[in-house]
Chain A
Amino acid sequence: MPSDVEKWKSEVYGNDILDHLYEFAEEGWESIPGDEHDAWFERFKWWGLYHQRNGQESYFMMRIGTPNGVLKPGQTEVVADIAEEYATGPASNPEFGDSWVDWTTRQSIQLHWIKLEDVPEIFEKLDEVGLSTQQACGDSWRNIVGCPVAGKDKHEHVDALPVAMELHDAFKGNEEHTNLPRKWKVSVTGCREGCGQGDINDLAFEPATKEIDGEDVRGFNVRVGGGLARNEPRLAKNIDVFVTPDRAAEVAGGISALFREHGDREDRYNARIKFLMDEWGPEKFRRVLQEDFVDFELETAGEDLRDEYSYNSGYANGGHSDHVGVHEQKDGNYYVGLNVLVGRMGTDDTAELARVANEYGSGEIRVTQRQNVLITDVPEENLDALLEEDLLEHYSPDPHPFMRGSIACTGTEFCSLSIVETKNRQVRFARWLKENVELPEGVEDFHIHLSGCTASCAQPQIADVSLRGMKTRKDGEAVEALDIGLGGGLGENPQFADWVKQRVPVDEVPGAIENLLANFEERRNGDETFREFVERTDEETLAELVEPEETSYEDPMMHNTKMTWYPYADDDGMDASPAPTDREDKPLPADD
């Protein structure tokens, strides 16, 4: 029997949702029938709107898709303006103030506290500069990710940006691909470092060379079925297909159609294409693709570049691990990667980022999968002045490794799925570690990813230290806790972290990392990286090296933040919530 979600989707979905959304916006929050909330909130996702969690009724998270993380000149300032005007709520965040912009691990943008009544105005402002929330969430083609310096990278194998943009143009609003069994995440990578992180996507195009008719042709190998969510992480499988850039959209459309026809619509837990790949295997997948979904003969896979992959790998093989710092582009200009701790940037700072990018570069900003931003197209003669800007003191191109390596998802501040507080906690962790813990000599990359639940939006399984939200009891009281995993990373041979220590109370996690690093330093062979050390150490020993301990770190959010209406409110109890509210954040009268 199809799920409730499939029933709702069969009634109204895709572009058709927009008229209803505008009608509800016009008439106000209360016009959504109470017994249709679940259905409409599910549908609104397709237009990039997630209803926030309990205690925050009538407020939405809005996701803006920026293909390949590219914000064209003129777009960043509009995002800042929209955040300033519309993304403020009834309470402040102690670290980030009243409004901010979140740069996400899928090179998108998230805003919070959005009122339904403001959505048409926001959509109009976004549309004026060529931005959209269409399919940013929901069961369809999500934001397409890739190497954030595609087209500018000095060493790239193939410029993948035109392909990413072609896929974006072809499959956003395309009714043939509007309603898929589940979300559809696509990565297009042309660089040598593997910055597109194709291994953890449903569909990945990866750089390759294939000899065709005696000539070496550059293009992509195709992998399918990666993903991290729900305790079921999978690496994308090689389906033995090479495709040229001009035929990538055709093959992508075939694979998307295959998913549409063969994906599981009865059980959403089993709906992602990784489970179809489990069932079929790559050989059958390729055969069905060839026979039923593509009109030309597929080439077999070409020679890939995976042995050069360095991004998020935990290896020191000469390639870069992120895009932070000053780097020369192939046109002789430079891009400057700024570290944005946990991906959250205040609204004023975002406006300042736009100004600085306009003054010293082309005005373009690019977002990375490590929640950072790049100012591109900076002539050499502008570099010194750019590096002197106040903005770069806080968002440094040369940050401390603990600041540089920190990623966090949204967490219980807004998200229905998360089990623990994340972003502010990761900020506190990073600051404490920076002040109190010495990294072993020469360690400049040390990635700590904190995800509030198994949905894995912070990509915890591919970090040096993986943190995942949990609960435990401490002194008899239920407290927020984290599972600790070690040794994950991408690269030529990607590995997911082993969860070696479970349910560590959150106030003991910084001490656990401090002890782990001391143990690593003591046992380290030469200049091996942390990932290399983990790989040669058995799991039992690793568990012993993680020694949770209370330290000077104090965590103010040990309690169940999920049961607050907003964890940072003076009175955080559910009964103190003003929600649901009207457009001006004034509480609406209760139904009865």
Chain B
Amino acid sequence: MSVALRTLDDGAWISVNDTREVSVSELWRFPGGNFCSCDLSDVVVEGFVETGVDGRTVEVRAYGQCIACGAKATTDWLPVGRVVDGEFRDVDRESVLCPQVAPAATAAAHR
């Protein structure tokens, strides 16, 4: 099933099948490493850079700032939701997110 996946509003929203689903301004926690020197980065999401799907998982790379150390960077691919039976379902983004390898289906996901 084809999924219409795109960033809207100057990177402020991820739209899945023509519905705004994931917004900037959320605080995301994930293992530091590539983003900043914190063990656990705590990042204000300021803009979405790329979107993609890996299997049924919707993933993004986002620009943001760690509120613990102040570092500004772009995240690795992070899971934000899953598409099940054509519908988007959030992952619990209040919990610690696990970075993914780059999704192979990025281009195909865009219509």
Interface residues of chain A, those whose CB is within 8 Å of chain B, are 4, 34-38, 53-54, 229-231, 268-269, 416-417, 419-420, 453-455, 469-473, 478, 502-503, 560, 562
Partner of A473, one of B25, B27, B70: B27
Judge whether B6 and A417 touch: CB under 8 Å.
no
Which one, A454, A473, A478, contacts B46 given CB within 8 A?
A454
Task: Give the contacting residue for A35; candidates B8, B17, B65; CB below 8 A.
Answer: B17
Q: Which residues of A contact B46 (CB under 8 A)?
A: 231, 454
Shortest distance in angstroms between A31's beta carbon and chain B's nearest beta carbon?
A: 15
Question: Which listed residue, A38, A229, A469, touches B6 by the CB 8 Å rule?
Answer: A38
| Contact between A478 and B27, CB atoms less than 8 A apart | yes
Contact A54 B44 (CB under 8 A): no
Q: Which residue of B lies closest to A483 (CB)?
A: B65
Q: Which residues of A contact B26 (CB under 8 A)?
A: 471
> B67 is contacted by which of A35, A36, A471 (Cβ under 8 Å)?
A471
Q: Which residues on the B side are within 8 Å of A453 (C-beta)?
A: 12, 24-25
Distance A37 CA – B17 CA, assembled complex (angstroms): 9
Cβ < 8 Å to A, chain B residues 30-49: 42, 44, 46-47
Q: Given A269-B10, A471-B67, answer yes or no on A562-B44 (Cβ-Cβ < 8 Å).
A: no
Given A269-B10, A269-B11, A470-B44; A419-B20 close (CB under 8 Å): no
Q: Taking the nearest CB of chain A, how far is it from the CB of B101, in angstroms? A: 23
Does B92 sit within 8 A of A, measured CB to CB? no
Contact call A35/B4, Cβ cutoff below 8 A: yes
Q: In whole Å, how far is A345's beta carbon from the nearest beta carbon of chain B?
A: 27
Q: Are B42 and A473 in contact (CB under 8 A)?
A: yes
How many angstroms between the C-alpha atoms of A473 and B43 in the bound complex?
11
- Known pairs A416-B13, A471-B25. 17 more at Cβ < 8 A? A36-B18, A37-B18, A37-B19, A38-B8, A38-B18, A54-B20, A54-B23, A230-B47, A269-B10, A269-B11, A416-B20, A453-B12, A454-B47, A455-B10, A469-B25, A560-B25, A562-B23
Cβ distance B84 to chain A, nearest Cβ, rounded Å: 15
Instruction: Determine the chain B residues whose CB is within 8 A of the CB of A562 once the complex forms.
Output: 23, 25
Residues of chain B with a CB closer than 8 A to A454's CB:
46-47
Question: Contact between A417 and B12 (Cβ–Cβ < 8 Å)?
Answer: yes
Give chain A residues whose Cβ lies under 8 Å from the Cβ of B70: 502
Least CB separation from B27: chain A residue: A478
Is A419 a contact partner of B25 (Cβ separation < 8 A)? yes
Q: How far is the CA of A54 from the CA of B110 in the complex (A)?
A: 22
Separation of A472 and B24 alpha carbons in the complex (Å):
13
- Chain B interface bracket (under 10, 10 to 19, 20 to 34, 35 or more): 20 to 34
Residues of chain A within 8 A of B6, CB atoms compared: 4, 38
Which residues of B sit under 8 angstroms from A35, Cβ to Cβ? 4, 17-18
Count the A-B residue pairs with Cβ separation under 8 angstroms: how many?
64
Query: Hey, which bits of chain B sit against chain A, CB under 8 A?
Result: 4, 6, 8-13, 15, 17-20, 23-27, 42, 44, 46-47, 65, 67, 70, 110
Q: Which residues of B contact A478 (CB under 8 A)?
A: 27
Q: What is the bound-complex CA distance between A503 and B19, given in angstroms?
A: 30
In the complex, the answer to whether A34 meets B18 with C-beta atoms within 8 Å is: yes
Cβ-closest 3 pairs across A and B: A419-B25, A37-B18, A417-B12
Find B44's partner among A34, A269, A455, A503 (CB 8 Å cutoff).
Answer: A503
CB of B91, distance to nearest CB on chain A (Å): 16
Q: List 18 A-B contacts (CB under 8 A).
A: A38-B6, A38-B18, A229-B10, A230-B10, A231-B46, A416-B20, A417-B9, A417-B24, A419-B24, A453-B24, A454-B46, A455-B10, A469-B25, A471-B26, A472-B44, A478-B27, A562-B23, A562-B25
Which residues on the A side are within 8 Å of B8 (C-beta)? 38, 416
Task: Point out the residues of chain A lying under 8 angstroms from B25, CB to CB.
Answer: 419-420, 453, 469, 471, 560, 562
Query: How far does the Cβ of A488 sit from chain B's closest Cβ, in whole Å?
Result: 20
A502–B68 Cα gap in the complex (Å)?
A: 11
Q: How long is the Cα–Cα vector from A264 to B110 in the complex, in angstroms?
A: 20
The interface residues of chain B lying within 8 Å CB-to-CB of A229 are 10
Q: How far does the alpha carbon of A38 sit from the alpha carbon of B18 in the complex, in Å?
A: 5
- Interchain nearest-CB distance for A123 vs B (Å): 25
Q: Using Cβ atoms and an 8 Å threshold, which residues of chain B touch A560?
A: 25
The answer to whether A471 and B27 touch across the interface, beta carbons within 8 angstroms, is yes
**CB of B58 to closest CB in A, whole Å:** 16
Q: What residues of chain B lie closer than 8 Å to A34, measured between beta carbons?
A: 17-18
Chain B residue nearest to A53 (CB atoms) is B20
CB distance from B49 to the nearest CB of A (A): 9
**Contact of B17 with A473 in the complex, beta carbons under 8 Å:** no
Q: Residue A471 contacts which of B11, B44, B110 (CB distance < 8 angstroms)? A: B44
By a CB distance below 8 angstroms, the chain B residues around A37 are 18-19
Bound Cα distance from A197 to B74, whole angstroms: 33
Taking CB atoms, residues of chain A closer than 8 Å to B13 are 416
Give Cα distance in the complex from A231 to B17, angstroms.
29
